[in-house]
Amino acid sequence: MNSINENVKVIDTKDNKSHTLQELMIIEAIKKVQNPFINLTVQDIAKDLKIGENMAYTIFKREDFPSVNIGRCWKISLISYLLWKTQKRI
């Protein structure tokens, strides 16, 4: 459990001097979310991306998409989804 994932970038929200504009925009957007740890479903993602559920299931199965499979349900936390979405759009 103590292993460090090299793909994860830690952003210090207290040090505003070393942030890029992109990081500052992400921090401000996350601050406005009421509950960033709420879990979203495949249907929620499909509605947000304006795609069908079959395409959403394909996205959930991608390696770079930070989702988990709980039983027969795919879930992703809102904060993980927002970070993934902003990284993919830039």
Residue 47 has phi, psi (to 5 degrees) of -65, -40
Q: In the chain, count H helices and then E strands.
A: 4, 3
- Residue 70's beta-bridge partner residues? 73
Question: pLDDT by residue (tens digit) across 13-27?
Answer: 555 566 788 778 777
- pTM equals 0.68
What's at 52, amino acid-wise? G
Question: pLDDT by residue (tens digit) across 30-73?
Answer: 788 888 889 999 999 999 999 999 999 999 999 999 999 989 89
Q: Are strands 39-40 and 68-70 parallel, antiparallel or unpaired?
A: unpaired
- CA–CA gap between residue 30 and residue 23 (Å, rounded): 11
